[in-house]
Amino acid sequence: MDMATLPYADLLGNQDPLAVLSETPRRLHALRELLGDSGLNAPWAPGKWTGAQIFSHLADCEIAFGFRYRQVLAEDNHSVQTFDQDAWAKQYPLSSDLALQAFSALRGWNLALLRKAAEGSFSKPVSHPERGKLTLGNLIQIAAGHDLNHLRQIDKLASQRPLA
């Protein structure tokens, strides 16, 4: 699939998706430290999620994405299941610290799996009900671009924070 037709591909550009996925936890920890609880409880734009909600969303997505990776690696011609992020978000915000801990642990676990995957696994086909035919590599590119999208939102929230 052409990168231009993948969600968030424009944000990924020429970056290595595994490098982006590896760097995200460090960036989130730094933003958590910078923003603190009060900063994370503000929306990044009017009517948008707060930083704390984004942290919870990222932890939830890491569960869903990891499940997808495992299914694609274990099964032939797998069809991934979608999820309604807005329905899941009705439970947010959960603890941003707990969300960040869960995200970081799950991300490390998922990266270990992806780095251990057999050569050629990233070209393994998968069907997505909304996006059609993809590969495991495409799912990884989507996840990396998704990270960059939400990091950009949290960066915007940090840039709006008054200087101490």
Q: What is the pLDDT of residues 30-70, one digit of tens each?
A: 999 999 988 999 999 999 999 999 999 999 999 999 999 99
φ, ψ for residue 79, nearest 5 deg: -110, 120
- The answer as to whether 84 is a domain residue is yes
Give the domain range for residue 39.
20-160
Instruction: Flag whether pLDDT at 96 surpasses 70.
Output: yes
Alpha helices per DSSP H over the chain: 9-12, 17-40, 51-74, 85-89, 96-116, 136-160
- The answer as to whether 59 is a domain residue is yes
Q: What percent of the chain has pLDDT above 70?
A: 95
Instruction: Flag whether pLDDT at 164 surpasses 60.
Output: no
- Domain count of the fold of the chain: 1
- The answer as to whether 9 is a domain residue is no
- The answer as to whether 107 is a domain residue is yes
- The answer as to whether 11 is a domain residue is no
pTM of the model: 0.92
Strands 125-128 and 78-79: parallel
Query: Residue 73 half-sphere exposure, CB side, CA atoms within 13 Å?
Result: 18
- The answer as to whether 1 is a domain residue is no
Mean pLDDT of the chain: 91
